Structure 1
Amino acid sequence: MSFTLPRFARLLSLSAASLALAAPLLAPASAQARDFVSIKGNVVNVREKPTTRSDTLWELARGYPLKVRERRGKWLRVGDYEATLGWVFAPLTTSAPHRVVTSRSANLREKPGTQHRVVGKLEQHEIVRTLGQQGTWARVQREGGQTGWVAKRLTWGW
């Protein structure tokens, strides 16, 4: 089978585009985690534009996890599990992993798995610190210090 140069170039171009689209799926979790940040301060403003003179769109609490969509100087364009939210000043964020509960409630369990004892109930929008992960479960810590395991599918973050 012979290819003409233009057709071969198109095939290479399509292959490169396919690889570029698949790269985030093939990247290790640690590489993808770099695209996340959490709020460092007690309350941080998310702004319409990357400047302190811009309107505040949202106020987010300590630990709230955010997906970084764009970087511009010391500003990050961020989103959460629902949408792109706006811009946050990068020094007000941290690389400490957190999750937010996205379901109405979630069982906090003694060990990873539904067969283990429930040690608490997490409420929707509650923010927890991620201590570790095992399969489809995340080991988390609540603000008051209580630790346990939660099903990742009931949360968002890293």
Structure 2
Amino acid sequence: MSFALPRLVRWLSTSAAALALAVPALAPAAAQAADFVSIKGATINVREQPTTRSDVLWELGQGYPLQVRERRGQWLRVRDHEATLGWVFAPLTQRTPHRLVTARVANLRAKPSTNSRIVGKLEQHEIVRTVGSQGSWAKVRRDGGQTGWVAKRLTWGW
């Protein structure tokens, strides 16, 4: 027993040192990994507290992307591109990726390049369905079915 104990202590201290070095390297990736949802139905109420008896702060439309900040039972504390909004009932959300146009106007392009032909103009606050991604570009589909590429920096969501 006494022979194995020093080896175990040495292994534990070596493992702890390796873990201490690895955790900071992993932390930025974990901190950047965001949990998103979007609105499933036509509209949803964003409430002050995680209960249906709480005041309604906002009403959001279908597809609106939200970042989850906290979970409490079947309620999600969410934020949008500007700030923390409040609480939504999780069953009224979905894991379908959407983006909100944050720029005043964003070009919808045929290919993921600023040199590509413009096929449409996206208006600020327009919500589009994300159907693909390539680098700093998102392939999106509008409600009417039109698809194209938009620079991610002009939108918010996933």
TM-score normalised per structure 2:
0.83
Does residue 30 of structure 2 align to residue 24 of structure 1?
yes
Q: Which structure 1 residue ranges, 4+ long, deviate > 3 Å from structure 2? A: 12-21
Aligned-partner residue type, residue 128 of structure 1: V
What SS does the aligned partner of 2:28 have?
helix
Deviation at 1:148, TM superposition (A): 0.3
**In structure 1, what is the equivalent of residue 5 of structure 2?**
none
CA distance in 2, matches of 1:58, 1:155: 21
- Find the structure with the greater CA-based Rg: 2
Alignment partners' CA distance in 1, 2:150 and 2:64: 17
- Rounded to whole Å, the distance in 1 between the matches of 2:76 and 2:140 is 26
What CA distance in whole angstroms lies between the structure 1 residues aligned with 2:142 and 2:53? Answer: 34
Task: Tell me, in whole angstroms, the C-alpha distance in 2 between the residues paired with 1:62 and 1:131.
Answer: 16
| 1:121-158 CA-partner distances (Å, limit 9, x unpaired) | 00000000000000110000001111000000000000
For 1:23 and 1:116, locate their aligned partners in 2 and report how far apart those are by CA, in whole Å. Answer: 32
Quote the residue 2:149 is aligned against: 149
**Displacement of 1:15 after TM fit?**
5.5
> How much identity, in percent, do the aligned residues show?
70
Residue in structure 2 matched with residue 128 of structure 1 by the alignment = 128
Aligned ranges for residues 1-158 of structure 1 at < 5 Å? 18-19=24-25, 21-24=27-30, 32=33, 35-158=35-158
Q: How high is the TM-score relative to the length of structure 1?
A: 0.83
2:96 is aligned with what amino acid?
A
The number of equivalent residue pairs is 143
Letter in 1 for 2:134: Q
User: What code does the residue aligned with 2:36 have?
Assistant: F
Structure 1: gaps (5+ residues): 1-7
* CA distance in structure 2 between the aligned counterparts of 1:134 and 1:23, rounded to whole angstroms: 19
* Structure 2 portions without partners, runs of 5+: 1-12
